[in-house]
Structure 1
Amino acid sequence: MQLIDQKAEITALESALEDCRAGRNRIVLIEGAAGCGKSELLATFAEQAASTGANVLFAAGSAADRDAPLGTLRQLFDGVPALDLGQLQECGSDGLKGEEMRELHVRLCRISECAPVVCCIDDLHHVDAASQQFLQYVARHHNRSTRILLVVTQTLHYSPFDAGFSTELLRRPSMSRLQPQPLTATEVVNALSRFPGLTGRDGMAADLHRISGGNPLLLRALISEHTGVRTAASTGSGDVRPQPGGAFARAVVSCLQSCGQNVLTLAAAIIVLEDLATTQLLARLIGTTRTAVAQGMSALESSGLLSGEGLRHSVVRTTVLDHLPPGTLAQLHRRAADILHAQGAEAALVAQHLVSAVPEGTTPRFPEWAADVLRGAAEECVEHDEISRAVALLGLAHRSCADTQKRVAIKTRLAAIVWRLDPGTSEQHLTEAVRGARTAQVSVSGLLPLLHLLVAQGRMAEAAEVRGLISSRPEDGEADTSERVYLAAMDPDGAPTNGDPDFLVPSPLSPQPSGAFPGRRPGKDSPFSAVGANSTDITRFLRATKLTGATVPPIVQAIMALTTSEDLERGVHWCRVFRNESLRFDAPGWQALFSALRAQGLLRLGDLAGAEEHALESLECVADQRTSDFSYSALSTLLRARTEMGKYAEAAAIVEQPVPDTLHLTVHGLAYFRARAQYYMATRQFQAALIDLFQVGRLMKKWGIDRPLVLPWRTDVAEVLLQLGQVARAEQLVHRQLSMVDSRHPWVRGTSLRLRAATSDPKRRPHLLDEAISELRRSGDRVALARALADLGDALTALGDPLARTIRQEALSLAAECKAAVLHERILHGGPPVANPGATVSELPQDRRERETGAALSDSERRVASLAALKYTNREISGILHITVSTVEQHLTRVYRKLNITRRQDLPARLDLHPLEASEAL
């Protein structure tokens, strides 16, 4: 494919040949960029010279043969007996001696007496040293009596193997120089005119010239890729897209190989440094001189591979990287990071090179400063909402860091920022941070952010453990006064005390990433509290606040304050607003959080279908629900909603799922155990319900968050006890709840008064229920209101009051509106709303047999057997009863022997488990 008009160059060579015929020896050096057509020009001239009767000798140097002495010379004289090097008996393997060169030159001159001798040597820069030595001898001994024309080609800016030969050529007065130039835009248009299928495409010529840089070799390759290809260009628009690995890419490889020995590495260094690719920095990066770099860059630029903005095309960059030796690119990035860090470059720039310096699947080996640089760059990414990149940087920092204290800090930070993407992964990072804190001597300043995040995510047991570690550390001045005040506000178990009215206790649905901000204390930096919040101020705050990583904690606290106020619907509205805002940030963790909060709010409003829908929506945003403790917050809302709706099969499917071993260590577990207890109560598994509820009560008291507004476990227990006929104990629990600070809240007071009425004399019940209904109307909880109305209807019916029918009708309507199928069924068909003093739950014959079977067991054995029958694992039983796993196993062995069974599955389902004493539950 002829693209280049070389008439002028051919004419010059023909003139040199005519001079040679006339006895005027000539030397012609064809010097140009890689791919400019030097070899094509030499071959064309050699063919023409031979056709005129000249003796044409041809050889081409190659990088592979450059170390073979006399290789080029043997190729040049091949087929000429008079110039057979083997006839020179003293010719050694390392080159020709002086006498041998004279003899060979004499023979060459004798041949020229008959006809001119044209010695054509392509790629002079690849000619071996021994052959260059003879050619230099020939050039030096040119005289008027010989007819020898020496034509050689050499790549422009190529660092020659022996610079002395090029210098010798330049000294010869008989030497002339030809320098083929890149094609201009006009010449590309002319070349394209030879391909009718391409000439009609708008912008094609301009694109070809831009991508090839006018390099004929690259241009030819581009045209070959697009000739005959029917693309969008065939409709009249230019669409030049060189393919990786195609003809253009292969031409790029050829040019790179022709540009010099180190040009490939230089091109890679240019890719690595991008806009910072100065001559000085490139020289430092690849370990060479600035002169060598300047020469290499000139070679790349003249060949059309390099422009002012870097390597000319993405395929050029891809081709360079594909042909680097393994590990070279990573080494360049690593060295670039070292150089730039030493120069004080920005953390983000240095971090970019550190990331690229670690091939996939390898362990990074960085200097000590690297971890801090990566952490700093990660914080910049967080500020710009580039969370995935921040996570990657912190992950690399953790893998490359040997300092255990820093590793704990990195994992804590990862847990904080990953939460917006995946709560489950965030929990894993936090678990690793706690594990690291147990084994390493982490300072107080390093432990405080971890403590904050544990509390914020509701991991109260681990928070207590970390609080203990902090207490054991000496006063080292690292924690400021405000931090010490925060620690002092926590009880000995490490939980926030109830004495702080401004402290917003952790919610199963609010694992705020406040640990991301070491100076922030959960609740302390928020103007909102769970009790007594001003909804107008809160709404004003929410309207003025944009959703960011820094504002999520106060936004969640504000919404929680609304959902625990009398303005519950407004809280649900803001959950929807920020859930929709989370979609814009592509933050599944935030979506899960606000959907879960909304589901909880809707459940409190009595919108069971809405609660079910948004709980499912929240769960869909959690990547692995089985291992995420947070997912059990939404799962608890789903379980409660389905239980109230009478969807027992679907609720049972939730209950039967195994729970994480860590769930009982978090507030997420509290919500789930309460929900499971309500399912057990609805399905008349009262002992199982009590186990879960008393477990909730123990944990809430231990963690210092025993607030009915958070979770009213006492009235839940009271409902179970009423069904079991234990009215006195139920009454005691209700009175205790009514004496607590949250009892002023309409929802807590209304729920408590309804249960108090159930334990009171029938004549007093209507009055108490009237008061409960008044409070529940204010609270917004329509299901709780319907339940209280149903109780009032039953109480009035028992007293013969005709108002009972109207009250029951309102309760029935509310239950239907809320889709509370179980309550609706009870109101419609009647049922015992309360247990009369002294009454017992009716038992089936099987119940009695199982109770009698368990009579032979000790109290301890009965407790263990009851929990085992409810499918608790030995480890879970150990935690609930505060005994060792070995003791559990011993009890079960004795139970099996006494009951004459051999396996766990044969345990009776209704063994009489004696729950905690009332005094323990208060």
Structure 2
Amino acid sequence: MTLYATAPERSVRWRPPAFSLDGGAAAGLVGRRAEREAVERLLTGTHGGRSGVLVVRGEAGIGKTALLELAREIAAGSGFRVESSTGAESETQFAFAGLHQLCEPLLDRTSSLPEPQRAALGVAFGRRSGAAPDRFLVGLATLNLLAAVAEEKPLLCVVDDAHWLDQASAQVLAFVARRVAAERLALVFALRDPVSCFAGRPELRLDGLGDADARVLLNSAVNAPLDDRVRDRIVDEARGNPLALLELPRSAPPARRAGGFERPDVLSVPRRVENIFQRRSGCLPAATQLLLLVAAAEPTGDVALLWRAAAELSLTPQAAAPAEISGLLEIGRRVLFRHPLVRSAVYQAASPPDRRAAHGALAAATDPHADPDRQAWHRAQAVLGTDEEVAAELERSAGRARARGGSAAAAAFLQQAAELTPEPARRAGRALAAAHAKHEAGAFEAAQELLVVAAAGPLDALQRARLELLRARVEFHLTRGSEVPGMLLDAARTLGPLDARLARDTHLHALEASFHAGRLGHGRGLAEAAEAARSAPAAPAPPRPADLLLDGLATTFLDGYEASVHTLQRALRTLRDRDPGAGDDDRRWLWLACHVAAMLWDDDAISVLAERAVRLAREAGTLATLPAALNALASVLVLTGELARAAELVAEEQAITRATGAPPLPNARLVLAAWRGQETETHELYAAMVDEAAGRGEGATVGLAQVALAALQNGLGNYDEALAAAAPPCEHDELAYSSIALPELIEAAVRAGRPECAATALERLSVRARASGTAWALGLEARSRALLSSGPAAEKHYREAIEHLERCTVATHLARARLVYGEWLRREGRRQDAREQLRTAYGLLSGMGAEAFAERAARELRATGEHPRKRTAQPADDLTAHELHIARLVATGATSQEVAAQLFLSPRTIESHLRKIFRKLGITSRRQLKDVRLQ
């Protein structure tokens, strides 16, 4: 059972004589040579194996649909399969309705999809039950479905009126448009106004016809003689809009054509044309007008449904004849309007009672078992005033929409349900539920508006507390402002006696928000958030990881680092050892847990948890969270010395954010550039990141940027600059960043001749490291102490540092320990011993790609009289980070389909990348990849 009827394709029979496709669409399309050539180039490239996307944009009546008809005709004549979808204004609250239109004829091919993708499409289209799918997993399924069909023959997908697609369909199709590459697949979208999710795609803007072409088209539409002055007036008023040129003369009586035409006004051309259609329909018999209204109110074009609804209004099929004769409507296999403006003109011109009657008839004619949501929607439009029964049905429709992954659709149903609810308390509750759904859908401003409705109440105490919590969360997403922690604290306190679990989670969220604000928070900050957490309801037994994080972080900011270590280490162990699929509660706090692991220098926990976050996001297909997880894991890989792998994940993150339309995340790119010694890129990323963070009030982000800059400057030997960068994160103690910054500050201060500054930092580092007790922490403490020591004591600490760091995964700091030990040995005059350490340090640093530190080691080696060998070029050096990522995955034995699923691409695109990879590596098979050194 499907939830959506297939919407009609445009019929070429309903194009006026000048656009008749007799002799081909190109013959009837006046002007538009450049536009025709753009379509031909798109289809030629697609036929040759290069996917293409084209967004055709322009006002109503400008010729977008005509150009789409041309694309269809050219494609059909060139051996393409053509599938279509048409957005409808009344369909915008039916999740995945537009996508279902497009894919419904192809669903017999879903058996070729991996099970998670097949399930995602099935749930989205209401064909099977299951957890609500991530919209980008639906996008990957759609991409692979279209790609599979395109394997048989080239495929053209045409989406008209894309500005009226439901949000879920628009997002999925925009995702597909950004991920197509080597498939024989072309996507053409026609829309009036810019749609943000299609921004950045190749665009073809349709403007008005030139004067000569406008006159040609006008002459073809008017058979009777036309006064020259009237012709000039029509051309001027139409402003090159083809539909206006065809309709304006038809709307005027012969007398006006001979001597004058219309009076001056300020209406836009589409509005003028819509008015013409209103006048034309208004001259029809009353029964015909009512039938037209029923057809306009039901966008699926279902003929049987139209006649059932007509019967409810005592309308006979004969009522359609005047509309068909006038050229406004055709009833054949589908109900087709002459133009979308006809539909809107008819609906807007109708009186409210007639609209309600039309929707009431459609509700009565709609099968409540096959299409309950559409019936509920029609019933809602038929209500005058309020109706609890209809509101309850809309609420049930919202539940079904949310189950399919349609948060925006659920929000629309709930909002309408609230408007129809007669009882104030229930109305406020539904408005609150609608606000939550808007928040889930990312419509934060709309959520704020619904919160105002809900706040009018009455609400019970728990509802009021949830409202304040949602208000804070919305504000957090919109501004990350310094007032958000205080809002969360107020909500947490209110929730305390009402919902202990939610209250504790809200306290932890308040701590997280305070950490985000950091030094830029001008309101209630970490200290107050920590103090409030102490008064939170007691944790359950046994405590959840979130409970341990809350108690441990509160202790950190009230009683000091050392006092919190035991509880926080327990939180990390609990998270690390729990079933990776334990639930959303654990996933919600993985990001915060990774920061805690960095604060405690727990390399095992941070690696396990960062890897888990990526794996869970991949398995669930949640592209909304995967970029952040990739970003975090890439930063961890920099510390472990796997800079090439980090670059692969950064490239993947950037590709995904481009595909989803989200802003790229700069954190890992900055850390990677700094450790690679890329001075110009680091400074550019640093400036942009700090500027944006300052504008949003995110002090923690500024701290991260400063730590990365300190690492770059230490690598380059610019120790005064490194000291200046490392000092603020140590001073402000923004969770993880002070722990990471302390060793950078100590090395910079020693080298810059500021031993007193280094000694103060070392005292703080030592206390923390001994409390933590990890090999990473003790290694950093020993290395830092060695830098401030001399004689045998210094050597003892250098050797301790190396011994500790060899027992953990943080290879970058092991290499740096050997580097500073070698530098000390050279200054002690022990050149042979220095060479051994420096040679090892240089090999490690150059091998991992930490070029600034590697060059520092090389300078020291040259000072001992040894010239370091430059790293031998490897075949894989010619691969891009993205190609290297694919090669590494394939080398492990993964199939193209498996790699495609992981990277949210199609198998054909992976095969295309592999051909390039083989060519660069000089190999011919997957088996040979295992013998290539990929690093």
TM-score by length of 2: 0.45
More helix by share: 2
TM-score by length of 1: 0.46
